[in-house]
Amino acid sequence: MKYSVALLAAASVVYAQQAEWQQCGGINWSGGTTCVSGTVCTKYNDYYSQCTPGTGTSAPAPSPSSGLPRLGGVNTAGYDFSVATDGSFNGTGVSPPPAQFTHFAKQGANLFRIPWQLMTPEVGGPINETWFSNFYDVTVQSALSSSPNTFVIVDLHNYARWNGQIIAQGGPTNDQFASVWTQLAQKYGSNERVIFGIMNEPHDVPDIATWVDSVQFVVNAVRNAGSKNFLLLPGSSWSSAQAFPTEAGPLLVKVTDPLGDTSKLIFDVHKYLDSDNSGTHPDCTTDNVDVLTTLVSFLKSNGNRQAILSETGGGNTASCETLVGNELSFVKNSFPTLVGFSAWSAGAFDTTYTLTLTPFANGTDEALWTSANLTASYNFASGPDDCEPLHSIGMYTTDPESTRLQSITQERDLDEFLNTATLAGVDFTAERRNVKIIAAAANSNQNPYLLSEEEERTTLRKQSENKQRLRVPRRPPWTKSMTTAQLDRQEKDAFLEWRRGLAELQDRDQFLLTPFERNIEVWRQLWRVLERSHLVVQIVDARNPLRFRCEDLEAYVQDVEGTEGEAGTGKGKRRSLLLINKADLLTARQRKLWADYFDERNVKYAFFSAANAAAIQEARREAAAAEAQRQGEATQAQENAKIRRDEDVSLQSERTGDADNAEESDDETPSDSDGRAEESTSDEEDDDGVFLPIEEGPEASDPRTRVLSVLELEDLFVRSAPDLSTFVDSSGEHPAKLVVGLVGYPNVGKSSTINALVGEKKVSVSSTPGKTKHFQTIHLSSTLVLCDCPGLVFPQFATTKADLVCDGVLPIDQMREYTAPTTLVVRRIPKEVLEAIYGLSIRIKSVEEGGEGKITGPDLLVAYAIARGFARSGQGNPDEARAARYILKDYVNAKLLFCHPPPSVPDDDFNEQTRQIALLRAVGKKRAPTTRVTKKADTFVAPAVQGDPASTANSSQKGDNLDREFFTNGSLSSRPYTQGARGQGQEFSRAKLYPHQNMVADDGTPLTGRRARIAAVLAAGGDVAPGKKHHKKMKRGKQRSGKGYDD
């Protein structure tokens, strides 16, 4: 069984001869190009050729050509009205309305076929320039301007005749026929969006071979005129698609192109859906799928040629709406063998014509165009599975697809194959294969998701030797003369090649790469930010600068050309700056070590803290609000005092002195209140201080280690930027504003930095990587603009994915494996620091118990889950997965602080001061319980008394508790007890035969005397009677009611 799916265009295995349905050619294909016997190498597009069943000699796949995109549109009749089917003229031609081209182009049509009437008043003479310039060329240019992706077919609508005489068979000569096309080639040869339709519907031709010679004559004449346009080769029998494989087709396939190949020679076929294929009946009787299937098979077996259905259609009836839709669906799936279609017809036809597609006066369309979904169901793009939405035809800036810019860093193998093949525009048939997966057994003491120390050293050395092979995808050179389709195809090709290079690193060289951004739309945002910016600021997290720094991005900045990135406008004009954010998490000594590292490598850097800047701004706003409130209260107090003075005037004179004293007391009251408010504010500020204390010493006084303020950072941007006079826009003027682009990984603080610079929240901030979806420009001042790029996960060498989880690159809430990240946390944060921060007593397994004698990830998770009451449903075991999410988020948010040192600096030495500060902050913090069992429960075991961590590092808490309980005389476990159901946990002395001798209370203490007998009766299911009357006599009477018994 075979499944039609899309696969990666490049293959890693080279075959001498390809089997049936295997790939045999295409751009960048390095495998075999010949097929086994019984199959032929069939070209589907520039990127993919496949061995399909067929006869003929297996030869290498044809060389890739430029090719046409999928085409679809309408015929715009009018100029052909003056030509009869016998080639005679009556002079009744009409110009089609130019507004129709815009109307259909907005709906997605990208092809207009424009028939034409008598252009040369004399056979073989010149074209009537007045008529051509004022009418026909105006119509062609209107169609071309409707969309940058529009193609126009210039159609010679003369049925291979001139006034009833067949060309070269009693009528005009081949030279006269070719003269017309030579003149048209001179007029439109420079525009490859114009396609030359050599002749419309030749019919009743006596000698088809002679007609084919005439077609060859025109092809040679057009090429001799210097034109490289696509040419449509007509057959016979009204260009019938049904007759083509048996009549003119075998002869037309022999027509050659002086350009060297036949990729620009397209066969022109027509097929209507009415009963006699005349296009004169409103009802449809067939969907033409059988005819088109035969045509496609003929084209593939004869050099993999192409054809276009330049005329098809039906009436605006229910039957045609269904059948035309089926036909176009087949044409779509047959691309590129069938290039496209052109429906008949709009233009000068009014709405009463049988096959009209002319829109109504109110702008609505005919039923066939809307109900058959001629545009919605037939997307015009380069492949059957690479269809762009209709609104994307042409240059556009609005993207209605909400998931188009969704960040993609991890893909399943199948998704990666499909997405890569979509970029390449390939479709293939793959065979089912037998796959055997072998999993290596993991060491019980080694986390299978982490590397051993020896493996990590080997991997890091190998990565250091190959780091220059990690590159940021470049936008290929472009010019403003390129169309949207050309630019899009070029960018996808370059991106696909970049993906192949990374795949080669992974597959052939066995490198492990971090999950990196795989969505080309997100990379396009980076390209546009770099092209807009004069200074590119790469923001990194101070806790691990090398993880978040992309060195190749700095090289790419130098490669971006000119003001807008257009090719040929000059490189090396932009500048780069490394901004180390969250620098408040580093001590002065740590910042000095990093400053030395970057100075040695001539990297321009700066330390900054967006959180501190935001906190300072918030404190200033609160202080301003408090001052405004204080002044308001003082003003209110003065007004109250004035009112009281006015009232005191009427009092007796002997009370004047008292009133004055009261006034003085009132005036002093606000001052006292203000002092208390200021004291309270000061206390609050002390509680919300910076994470690290204020430092003194040579490291703190070093200007290189200074954490810049907002104003200092703005000044640094201006000083680090290039001279704006070196940039010139399209109008020849120098830019008036400096554009600073902010790029970097997700969650490093780009948006927070912008908010700090602006002074208020302008950009949405989130802990989820990739919150910013589109690049955003923010005008900071009259001379400075900030440009925020979406967070990008650059490709980096990695040892494990757990590192990226700890660095906050991969979303914690979406992780599936949590043991490896938590193991990294306990490796980096000492046990005593974890216990101090969380108030935990973490139990570790000693070597005697099968452990390693040191803390592990599960140890921390179990202790944290028990302390917080996180339990799984069912048996109530600790919920380690939930605990891991809380702990890892604390690590990412710097509650558990670990800072990576520069190379050659030990981790413990670099973080020693930070750990001491964490222990000092947790002095006197209460410890959480190690169990959730209540104290009075039978299974409760009191926790061990916590002492010096160093003295108990090698001891087992479980063993200590067991020893203490065993040697305590009052404990139940310190005396022997009998086994079995009757043992009851009592001391063994002698056999106890009676039930009440074995009774114990709920707390396990023995019962004696009457209490034991009562417990025995209750245990046997009896009731204790209040008196001695036992009512032993059996009652034989019938119970009548609940009030007693009858006699």
Model confidence over 825-837: pLDDT tens digits? Answer: 999 999 999 998 9
Q: Which is nearest to 568 in space by CA: 497, 481, 477?
A: 477
Residue of higher predicted confidence among 794 and 940: 794
Helix axes 289-301, 318-333, angle to 10 degrees: 20
Q: What is the DSSP letter of 481?
A: T
Distance in angstroms (rounded) separating the CA atoms of residues 731 and 229: 33
pLDDT of the residue at 182: 94
Q: Is 771 exposed, middle or buried (0-12, 13-18, 19+ CB in 10 A)?
A: middle
Distance in angstroms (rounded) separating the CA atoms of residues 197 and 267: 10
Contact predicate 892/766, CB 8 Å? no
What the chain holds in terms of domains, given with CATH numbers, is: 2-61+403-431 (no CATH), 71-380 (3.20.20.80), 516-611+701-788 (3.40.50.300), 802-966 (no CATH), 979-1023 (no CATH)
Res 10 pLDDT > 70: no
Q: Which is nearest to 50 in space by CA: 427, 433, 431, 497?
A: 427
Res 380 pLDDT > 50: no
- With H, G, I as helix, E, B as strand and everything else as coil, classify residue 26: coil
Distance in angstroms (rounded) separating the CA atoms of residues 55 and 523: 45
Res 39 pLDDT > 70: yes
pLDDT of the residue at 891: 93
Distance in angstroms (rounded) separating the CA atoms of residues 631 and 625: 10
In this structure, is the dihedral angle defined by the CA atoms of residues 541, 546, 551 and 552, taken in order, positive or negative? negative
Containing 1039, the helix (H) or strand (E) segment is strand 1039-1041
Task: Give, in order, the Cα–Cα distances in Å from 927 to each of 831, 835, 837, 839.
Answer: 14, 8, 10, 4
User: Which amino acid would we find at residue 358?
Assistant: T
Contact predicate 591/913, CB 8 Å? no
pLDDT bracket for residue 698 (50, 70, 90): low
Contact predicate 19/50, CB 8 Å? no
Q: Which is nearest to 82 in space by CA: 142, 131, 125, 124?
A: 131
HSE at residue 779, side-chain half, CA atoms within 13 A, is: 5
Distance in angstroms (rounded) separating the CA atoms of residues 85 and 278: 12
Q: How many CB atoms lie within 10 A of CB 667?
A: 13
Q: How many CB atoms lie within 10 A of CB 413?
A: 7
pLDDT bracket for residue 1011 (50, 70, 90): confident
Pairs from 863-869 (Cβ < 8 Å, separation ≥ 24): 863/930, 864/838, 864/840, 866/929, 866/930, 866/931, 866/932, 867/838, 867/839, 867/840, 867/928, 867/929, 867/930, 868/928, 869/932
pLDDT of the residue at 1044: 43
HSE at residue 531, side-chain half, CA atoms within 13 A, is: 18
Res 914 pLDDT > 80: yes
- With H, G, I as helix, E, B as strand and everything else as coil, classify residue 122: coil
Res 649 pLDDT > 60: no
Q: Quick one: how many helices (H) and strands (E) in the chain? A: 29, 24
Tell me the backbone φ, ψ of residue 778, rounded to 5 degrees.
-130, 125
Distance in angstroms (rounded) separating the CA atoms of residues 949 and 303: 81
Distance in angstroms (rounded) separating the CA atoms of residues 387 and 384: 6
| pLDDT above 70 as % of the chain | 68
pLDDT bracket for residue 993 (50, 70, 90): low
pLDDT of the residue at 416: 65
pLDDT of the residue at 663: 45
Tell me the backbone φ, ψ of residue 117, rounded to 5 degrees.
-100, -160
Radius of gyration of the CA atoms of the chain, in A: 43
Q: How many CB atoms lie within 10 A of CB 1018?
A: 12
Pairs from 723-732 (Cβ < 8 Å, separation ≥ 24): 724/534, 726/573, 727/534, 727/562, 727/563, 727/573, 728/562, 728/563, 729/563, 729/564, 730/563, 730/564
pLDDT of the residue at 734: 85
Tell me the backbone φ, ψ of residue 580, rounded to 5 degrees.
-90, 95
pLDDT of the residue at 561: 80
pLDDT in tens, 846-885: 887 777 788 898 899 999 999 888 988 877 889 999 999 9
pLDDT bracket for residue 634 (50, 70, 90): confident
Peptide bond before 764: cis, by omega within 30 degrees of 0? no
Helix spans in 302-356 (H): 318-333
pLDDT bracket for residue 537 (50, 70, 90): very high
Average pLDDT over residues 67-88: 80
pLDDT bracket for residue 996 (50, 70, 90): low
Res 529 pLDDT > 60: yes
Dihedral through CA 216, CA 218, CA 220, CA 226, nearest 10?
A: -150
pLDDT of the residue at 405: 60
Residue given tokens 């925020």 in the structure block: 788
pLDDT bracket for residue 256 (50, 70, 90): very high
Distance in angstroms (rounded) separating the CA atoms of residues 802 and 808: 10
Structure tokens at 879: 């919920």
pLDDT of the residue at 661: 45
Task: Give, in order, the Cα–Cα distances in Å from 486 to each of 46, 478, 481, 494, 866.
Answer: 14, 10, 10, 12, 61
In which region does residue 782 sit, left (phi positive, over 0), alpha (psi from -120 to 50) or beta (all else)? alpha
Tell me the backbone φ, ψ of residue 711, rounded to 5 degrees.
-65, -40
pLDDT of the residue at 666: 44
Pick the range with the lowest mean pLDDT from 591-600, 609-618, 915-924, 960-969.
960-969
Distance in angstroms (rounded) separating the CA atoms of residues 133 and 228: 23
pLDDT of the residue at 423: 57
Distance in angstroms (rounded) separating the CA atoms of residues 407 and 734: 35
Res 354 pLDDT > 90: no
Q: Under 8 Å CB-to-CB from 945, ≥6 apart: which residues?
A: none
Distance in angstroms (rounded) separating the CA atoms of residues 718 and 711: 11
pLDDT of the residue at 438: 44
Res 933 pLDDT > 80: no
Dihedral through CA 99, CA 102, CA 106, CA 111, nearest 10?
A: 120
Average pLDDT over residues 141-170: 90
- With H, G, I as helix, E, B as strand and everything else as coil, classify residue 293: helix
Average pLDDT over residues 98-118: 86
Tell me the backbone φ, ψ of residue 672, rounded to 5 degrees.
-65, -40
Res 382 pLDDT > 50: no
Distance in angstroms (rounded) separating the CA atoms of residues 475 and 560: 9
Res 235 pLDDT > 80: yes
Average pLDDT over residues 367-375: 60
- With H, G, I as helix, E, B as strand and everything else as coil, classify residue 713: helix
Pick the range with the lowest mean pLDDT from 291-305, 570-584, 753-767.
753-767
Q: Under 8 Å CB-to-CB from 876, ≥6 apart: which residues?
A: none
Res 195 pLDDT > 50: yes
Q: Which is nearest to 292 in space by CA: 321, 332, 255, 320?
A: 332
Pick the range with the lowest mean pLDDT from 167-176, 419-428, 668-677.
668-677
Q: What is the end-to-end Cα distance of the chain in Å, rounded?
A: 89
Contact predicate 423/499, CB 8 Å? yes
Res 597 pLDDT > 50: yes
Residue of higher predicted confidence among 556 and 481: 556
Q: What is the mean pLDDT of the chain?
A: 75
Distance in angstroms (rounded) separating the CA atoms of residues 978 and 992: 12
Res 153 pLDDT > 90: yes
Res 576 pLDDT > 90: yes
Pick the range with the lowest mean pLDDT from 124-133, 161-170, 864-873.
124-133
Q: What is the DSSP letter of 1000?
A: B
Contact predicate 342/309, CB 8 Å? yes
pLDDT of the residue at 676: 36
Res 557 pLDDT > 70: yes
pLDDT of the residue at 4: 27
Q: Is 915 exposed, middle or buried (0-12, 13-18, 19+ CB in 10 A)?
A: middle
Average pLDDT over residues 809-816: 82
Q: What are the catalytic residues?
A: 201, 311
Average pLDDT over residues 83-96: 69
Structure tokens at 707: 């954490």
pTM score, whole prediction: 0.47
E strand segments, 96-200: 111-116, 151-156, 161-162, 165-166, 194-197
Q: Give the best-scoring range by mean pLDDT among 317-321, 613-617, 796-800.
A: 317-321
pLDDT of the residue at 276: 84
